[in-house]
Structure 1
Amino acid sequence: MIEAPKILEIRNLSKKFGGLQALSDVSIRVRQGEIASFIGPNGAGKTTLFNMICRLYQPSSGEIRFEDKNLLDFRPHHLARLGIGRTFQNLALFRHGTVIENLLVGMHAHLQAGVLAGVFRFGRAAAEERRAREEVERIVEFLEIEEIRNSPVSVLPYGLQKRVEMGRALATRPRLLLLDEMVSGMNQEETEDIARFVLDLRDELGLTVIMIEHDMNVVMDISDMVHVLNFGVPIASGPPAAVAADPAVIDAYLGRGGS
């Protein structure tokens, strides 16, 4: 079987904050079309790794390559146009905007019309806005949020707000989507919905997905590959079943005997 090409490659990545070694010599490959999960105890370095991929933190050493581009050559606001989208552990929506308005924000990086054309909505700006709204409607249908499309985000239950945030990330047209604890704080039904949507992102939209996730049922059920960090050090990588049986992972995170 021919392996899919790599879409993200992290090479010997390290990060220090003063005297704290947050990440140490991390090397990981993620292939196109994978669902890859990063797990580990609190403080393991998972969010630090996400923040370096997203260029919010500068690595102390190492390299991050996305589709053979060196991400360290780019600033955070370039990532949407490169094809990288992200959700956040803490909701970062415009709470007084509607669902549609929040999703349209995600299209901003791909709009090319000038300010004047945008103000008066003529020519290229009008055509761009029409295409953006059509694309947002496809996202609304994909995420099954048609009934709340015109609702202010602030009135929605937490689970639906998280779904809207996923939609806004999809509106950036990513090829690689980073999901930071999408099911944290959700009930069982909401968790199952999000897991189903993540599978559909891969299977129907052809996206590569990287998750930080503490819900081990979700990780083991839908991941193609699992990467484990402990105190900033990678201790295991592989398919879910192999990682779950790794003695180092059991000691560091999962707990012996399922405890």
Structure 2
Amino acid sequence: MSDLLQLQGVTKRFGGLTAVNDVSLSVREGQIYSLIGPNGAGKTTLFNLISAVFRPTSGSILFQGQDLTRMPTHALARLGIARTFQNLAVFKHETVVNNLLVGMHSHLRSDPFSSALFWGRTRREELRARDRVEEIIDFLEIEDIRDHPVGTLSYGQQKRVELGRALAISPKLLLLDEMVSGMNQEEREDIARFILDLKDELGMTVFMVEHDMGIVMDISDRVCVVNYGSKIAEGTPSEIAQNPAVVEAYLGTKRSAA
């Protein structure tokens, strides 16, 4: 399989602070790729660079060979890049179904006239969007809460809805930022299972920032470790777990969550 995402010498400076320092990495199609490191290591900044929240000071970010460094954030969805956030970004007063429909927005192409009359292309797009939402509801096993306002759900359920909204655009690359943070053990295991199913059943590529080392080591194909903004190691989970530089910088003597 070919490289889907490539970072080449990416650096980000905020004034005199270098948050990301000359990082290069490649994520191949169909991989689960994890980015780990201590708090303040530059992980979220790197994610924000990939999702065009920030622009790099230097270096390039390529998605299927296309440079993302000058692209607006809203354009990424149509390229096939979706992201969840460490802090919930759901519409809490809307139902689960309506939250998922919001994720379909990037696929809509109807003109205002057709939309006003709800005919032709608009009607076909609406039906396709609702079919896609039903598929996501089945996949994430949230049929019983589909009509509930998201704000009334548990934290873990809300995170599942946020994942569903990201899936609504049928992404080629799914960016997961601290997906299981704040969840109990059962919820974490469910999310890990969903991520594996995304790869195995749908062939989706997943790039995740994660602190839960159990999940990282269990489901990742490849792991990249950053510390003080620099990449210090990359390899398979077993290689990373045995890397002395990683053990010293992050894992410590025990493979526990940071």
Question: Above 0.5 in TM-score?
Answer: yes
Q: Percent identity of the aligned residues? A: 60
Task: Determine the structure 1 residue equivalent to 2:12.
Answer: 15
What CA distance in whole angstroms lies between the structure 2 residues aligned with 1:111 and 1:168? 15
Gapped runs of 5+ residues in structure 1? none
The Cα offsets for residues 144-183 of structure 1, whole Å up to 9 and x where unpaired, read as 0011111100110010100000000000120000000010
The alpha carbon displacement at 1:114 in A equals: 1.4
What letter is aligned with 1:100?
V
Task: Determine the structure 2 residue equivalent to 1:218.
Answer: 215
The root-mean-square deviation of aligned C-alpha atoms, in Å, is 0.9
Query: Residues 80 and 173 of structure 1 are in contact (CA less than 8 Å); yes or no, is this contact kept in structure 2?
Result: no
Task: Determine the structure 2 residue equivalent to 1:184.
Answer: 181
2:114 to 100, 117, 122: 117
Task: Determine the structure 1 residue equivalent to 2:236.
Answer: 239
Query: Residues 217 and 238 of structure 2 are in contact (CA less than 8 Å); yes or no, is this contact kept in structure 1?
Result: yes
Task: Determine the structure 2 residue equivalent to 1:71.
Answer: 68
Task: Determine the structure 2 residue equivalent to 1:137.
Answer: 134
What are the within-5 Å matches in structure 2 for residues 4-43 of structure 1? 4-43=1-40
Task: Determine the structure 2 residue equivalent to 1:104.
Answer: 101
Q: Which moved more, 1:69-78 or 1:148-157?
A: 69-78
- When normalised by structure 2's length, the TM-score is 0.98
1:207 to 204, 207, 211: 204
After TM superposition, the runs of 4+ consecutive aligned structure 1 residues lying more than 4 A away are none
- When normalised by structure 1's length, the TM-score is 0.97
Equivalent pairs, count? 256
Structure-2 change in CA distance of 1:258 and 1:100 (3 Å): closer
Gapped runs of 5+ residues in structure 2? none
The alpha carbon displacement at 1:74 in A equals: 1.6
What letter is aligned with 1:46?
K
What letter is aligned with 2:67?
N
Do residues 157 (structure 1) and 145 (structure 2) align?
no
The Cα offsets for residues 196-247 of structure 1, whole Å up to 9 and x where unpaired, read as 0000010011100001000000000000000000010100000001001100
What CA distance in whole angstroms lies between the structure 2 residues aligned with 1:244 and 1:144? 33
> What SS does the corresponding residue of 1:100 show, helix, strand or coil?
helix
Query: Residues 135 and 171 of structure 1 are in contact (CA less than 8 Å); yes or no, is this contact kept in structure 2?
Result: yes
Structure-2 change in CA distance of 1:257 and 1:190 (3 Å): closer
What CA distance in whole angstroms lies between the structure 2 residues aligned with 1:216 and 1:97? 34
The alpha carbon displacement at 1:20 in A equals: 0.6
